[in-house]
Amino acid sequence: MKKSKLKCPNLVPVTVRHLTMATLHPHLDRQSEKQLCMFFNGNVKFSLLYKGSFHGFSFTEIQYKCTNQGQIIMVGYLEDGLVLGGCMSKGLINQNTTVKDETAFRFSADQSESVKTSVTTVNFEYNAIRFDSDLRFQQSSVRGNALSVTGSQLEGEKILEELEVYRVEDTCDLLETPWRELTSNEEKRNLLKESVVSYKPPTDVVSQARVLLVGPVGAGKSSFISSVCSVFHGRVSIQAMVGTAARSFTTKFRSYTIKAARGGEATPLVLCDMMGLGETDLSGVRVKDVLHVIKGHMPEGYKFNPSEPISSASKGYVEEPTVKNKIACVAFVLDAGRVSAYPELVQEALKELRLKISDLGVPQVALLTHTDEVCNSVAEDGKNIYQSRVIQNKVYAAGKLLGLPVSCIVPVKNYSSELELNCSTDILILSAVDLILQYVDMFCDECEMSKSAP
């Protein structure tokens, strides 16, 4: 049997035994699972994200499988039956990112007992998790207690038979009664579709419902546009450019007129896509550009330049926008898995946008995407979305981040890996469009009033 070196998730260096023909079944036996569950008062279940013998014993693989999955527990199985590991309540975020985590802990368990050791002490400024290039949970001597994954050497060596990472899920996940009503059947899907197709702005002043999707890179803005198109096309299709890069995959300003069917008549709904807000200064669009889009100055196809916002000197700049160019509603798009962990730069940009867009008198709503990634019940069926406690908490977190009432926030599930449409997913997408159109009406009313004002 092949062996290679890897540190196990505690202070003991180990050698990994490479298993051949591994399958993706949890290595965790019932007894150990029970012991680990007790660390969370029994109210959790574990969902396997990564298994070393299956995915490969590499830190890159762990990062790939486990980043942004919420609370995770890493479990290492030693040859002598000892189970060791650690838990991070905020999960893996990004390599080399330090995250405050007051409830992070490491543990050891064997047949007779399990020991949980908090990585929190009161003596230090804050508690942290750090990820470098190897696997090890330890206490950092410099910056408070750290749940750390580093590569330093220690005496003694043990065989690590297996290494797994599980997402920790709340078993009280589904509420007894939904916190919002949602009918999920074919009839409802058709009704919602019909109401979008027959939508007309309530005033002649506004002919189109131009809706701008704004949010961090990767939140799912382009995917939402593609998902809306898919619902009306009757099959999953990609319209807006969707991507996974850390920098925005969408680099141009594009507006998509939604058609009632594939090749069918245009509806008044126009969804506008733009570059996302970056996590660093130059990785995405800045607030100024978003405001220019909203006011209608941005020409179609404009290529964003993060180091230089558009100005009146830019090619194609719309000097005197009419109501036709203006945005009637802004839909903020946030990733449910990241809503509580967006970097400061993104949080500040969102807050600034909220204030400045409100000053412009443009109504705002928010869409919470990636809901299937934070709640298994939603991944199984989108109709569970309003029964999910996790999603409810995420919606409240989004409300807090944006300073928006919860009634303006809708959780959705975009089409990302599916090849076929699904009724519940369609209903979530259509309900989001329905909410957006209600807010477009508010914009139209404002325009009508200002037209008739003396």
Binding flag, residue 239, ligand GDP (CB under 6 A): no
Which H, E and C letters describe 170-214, residue by residue? EHHHECCCCCCCCCCCHHHHHHHHHHHHCCCCCCCCCCCEEEEEE
Binding flag, residue 68, ligand GDP (CB under 6 A): no
Smallest distance, Å, CB 266 to ligand GDP? 23
Q: Which is nearer to Mg ion, 184 or 222 (CB)?
A: 222
Find all residues with CB under 8 Å of 427, minimum gap 6, and list them. 182, 183, 184, 188, 189, 192, 382, 383
| Residues near Mg ion (CB under 5 A) | 221-222, 250
**Cα four-point dihedral sign 435, 436, 440, 443:** positive
Q: Which is nearer to ligand GDP, 203 or 371 (CB)?
A: 371
Binding flag, residue 69, ligand GDP (CB under 6 A): no
Binding flag, residue 47, ligand GDP (CB under 6 A): no
Which of 17, 136, 221, 254 contacts ligand GDP by CB under 6 A? 221
Smallest distance, Å, CB 243 to Mg ion? 6
Q: Which is nearer to ligand GDP, 249 or 396 (CB)?
A: 249
Binder of residue 337, out of Mg ion, ligand GDP, none (CB less than 5 to 8 A by kind): none
Tokens representing 355 are 């204030």
Binding flag, residue 127, ligand GDP (CB under 6 A): no
Which of 16, 62, 219, 427 contacts ligand GDP by CB under 6 A? 219
Q: Which is nearer to ligand GDP, 244 or 322 (CB)?
A: 244
Confirm if 170 and 43 have CB atoms less than 8 A apart: yes
Q: What Rg value do the Cα atoms of the chain yield, rounded? A: 25
Site stretch for ligand GDP (CB under 6 A), options 58-66, 196-204, 229-237, 409-417: 409-417
Closest CA to 306 of 349, 271, 268, 264: 349
Smallest distance, Å, CB 340 to Mg ion? 22
Q: Which residue's structure tokens are 């109401």?
A: 195
Smallest distance, Å, CB 249 to ligand GDP? 5
Binding flag, residue 373, ligand GDP (CB under 6 A): yes
Phi, psi dihedrals of residue 166, rounded to the nearest 5°:
-115, 145
Which of 416, 421, 423, 445 contacts ligand GDP by CB under 6 A? 416
Binding flag, residue 64, ligand GDP (CB under 6 A): no
Q: Which is nearer to ligand GDP, 148 or 251 (CB)?
A: 251
Binding flag, residue 220, ligand GDP (CB under 6 A): yes
Strand bridging mode 72-78 / 209-214: unpaired
Binding flag, residue 284, ligand GDP (CB under 6 A): no
Binding flag, residue 250, ligand GDP (CB under 6 A): yes
The arrangement of strands across the sheet holding 209-214 comes to 254-259, 266-273, 209-214, 329-335, 364-369, 409-411
Binding flag, residue 441, ligand GDP (CB under 6 A): no
Smallest distance, Å, CB 432 to ligand GDP? 11
Q: In the chain, how many H helices and how many E strands?
A: 11, 17
Smallest distance, Å, CB 449 to ligand GDP? 33
Any idea of the CA torsion for 272, 275, 250, 412, to the nearest 10 degrees?
-60
Tokens representing 1 are 């049997």
Confirm if 257 and 319 have CB atoms less than 8 A apart: no
Residues that bind ligand GDP (CB under 6 A): 215, 217-223, 242-244, 248-250, 276, 333, 369-370, 372-373, 413-414, 416
